[in-house]
Amino acid sequence: MTKSKELTEVEIDRIIEMAWEDRTPFDAIQVQFGISEGETIEIMRRNMKRSSFNMWRARVQGRSTKHLKKCPEEMNTFRSRMQRGIALNKISKR
C-alpha cells in the first residue's frame, strides 16, 4: 500500500474519524483522500487497538450507509449534519 505512506498523520486521523462515523460512506473517503475501501480498512487496522478495530469492523460490515450503492437516495450525501462540528474539533479522536 504505497498511497498510505504518503498520508500525513493529520490526514490519517481524519480518515479514521470519517471511517468511524456511521453515515460517512467509504466513497467519500475515496473522493477526499484517493484511497480505496480496502486501504481505509488497512489504515484502521494499523492505527487502532485490536478490540476497537474488531468492534468497528463488525459494525460497518455490510452497513448500507457506508456504501453509496446500497444507500437510499435521500442519504446519498457525503456530509452528515454533525461533520462541521467534528471537523473543527482540535482534540484527536485516537
pLDDT (tens digit per residue) in 17-61: 999 988 888 889 999 999 999 999 999 999 999 999 999 998 888
Residue with the three cell numbers 498520508: 7
What are the grid coordinates assigned to 44, written together?
484502521
Which alpha helices (DSSP H) does the chain contain, by range? Answer: 2-5, 9-20, 26-33, 37-47, 50-60, 83-87
**How confident is the model at residue 4, as a pLDDT?**
46
Residue 16 forms part of a structural domain: yes
Q: Is residue 25 part of a domain?
A: yes
Report the number of distinct structural domains present in the chain. 1
With 50 as the cut, is the pLDDT of residue 2 above it?
no
Domain that holds residue 11: 7-86
Does the reported pTM lie above 0.85?
Answer: no
CA distance 10 to 24: 18
Answer whether 94's CB lies under 8 Å from 16's CB. Answer: yes
